[in-house]
Structure 1
């Protein structure tokens, strides 16, 4: 299992989080651009999936 499984879980979490965020985003022209929000969600999604898998052992 090891590090490869943790990385895979992080990547899966990243993809799901970004896909849902981009699909649900509206174009109201708020204070943040969609690319900025997607990047923030990508970072937090990856870290959440990675560390959840890492510490769940």
Structure 2
């Protein structure tokens, strides 16, 4: 797999995770702000999707 394929997998993971987080989260979740949660989930989801794809292609 190339870098482009790994990057696409990271983006797909990011979009799915952020969409589920926004759909399931309440605006009243204290002490966290919705933007903080979305940013944290987005960063971790992208890195997880990217590196999972990257290392899975190194067989």
- TM-score tier by shorter-chain length is over 0.9
Cα distance, 1:36 vs structure 2: 0.5
RMSD: 0.9
For these two proteins, the number of residue pairs brought into alignment is: 57
> Secondary structure of 1:27's partner?
coil
Q: For 2:47 and 2:32, how far apart are their aligned partners in 1?
A: 22
| TM-score normalised per structure 2 | 0.91
| TM-score normalised per structure 1 | 0.94
5+ residue gaps, structure 1, are none
5+ residue gaps, structure 2, are none
